[in-house]
Structure 1
Amino acid sequence: MHRARPLPPYLVQRYHGWKATTYAENKPWYRLLADEGQRPRAMIISCCDSRVHVTSIFGADQGEFFIHRNIANLVPPYENDGGQHGTSAAIEYAVKNLHVAHLIVMGHSNCGGVSGCHEMCLGRAPELEDKSSFVGRWMDILRPGYDRVAHIEDDAERTRALEKESVLISLENLADFPFVSEALEEGRITLHGLWHDIGGGGIEQYVPEAHKFVAI
């Protein structure tokens, strides 16, 4: 591939720093992970947003989380059409091969993807309405969530509510995957919905009994 280029020097420097410190101090652990494979307890589906760093938030070590990131932390509806589905493939691998005990969806504040969906649903983002927009078609997954919050008058409050709907829509879609549904019925897995306030550092979790997100 003739368009590929070497890494920027600052990334090379950071890598060497990691190799000389973090790796060198924990070499036996890395060797164990390499030899025995991964055994994560949980899968976390989070946003691609560079400000959301789930391993730092939960103080996780290598091998602890199986992480999948995409725009607006969305899980699409289950489809068995023979197509190529990256998020669905990651979920299948986590449940069937890694046997994770927890599936966690974590949304966050000031999500650009959710904001784009909000604008698209209001007819203010024609570029996302275009059939050629990968982001727009991906955010179509969240349209049912917009319908639930459309009654909220304030734009900022409506967008914040839609961020949490992105978590709920994903949980609903997750539960429709046959292998997830089976694992839920047999008590082999649990679903969790979180929303992270980037600026405030807080996390809220969805409590079904209360039908709302509650601070933890």
Structure 2
Amino acid sequence: MSAEVRRVAVVGDCPLFRRGLAQVVESTTDLALVLAAGSVEEAEGRLQGGDVVLVDLQLAPADLSAAVFRLAGRGAEVLVLCSPLQHDIVPPMEAGARGCLSRQAGELELLAAIRLVASGCGYVSAALAVRRWAEPQCRVTERERQILELVANGETDHGIAERLGISEHTVHSHLDRLRDKIGSRRRADLTRFAVAHDIVPNA
């Protein structure tokens, strides 16, 4: 049995970038481009529940969140394209976006993000996540800093426990709290977090 072909829509106010996104989607066999529109209003009547909608709209944060909320309310799985230097990913995610993708992402990351969102998962580009982690409201304890430094240096959970004189269970508890703060379970993202906070140097 062939894999399900997922419907993808592109909503973007830059014609060239919109066309580029559409061409990447059309280059695959498991994704089907159903429309490429310049606005939410133009797209709304042609969407079906479960469609993945790539949103690339240069709007004020409140207006972008409103657009996401509108699309998500129609059952769309929304993936917002954001600039790492200009956007805070929290408002669109709170408005119902499944993920935020850096506008600097390549084709492989774009397609991976679409497929993850289509399967019901969330996705945030590392460049966007690191910027969020660097904001002042994200705090780590001294013990968490020690653990992050050891993780970034390649130490295992067992090794961290031995180095700090604590149980491996305690290490796991600290890592779980850090992963909740960061929003990622991957060890590589813990390392990026450590670099963003100057816990370890960016070699």
TM-score, reference length from structure 2: 0.32
- Give the structure, 1 or 2, with the largest relative contact order (CA under 8 Å, sep 6 or more): 1
TM-score, reference length from structure 1: 0.30
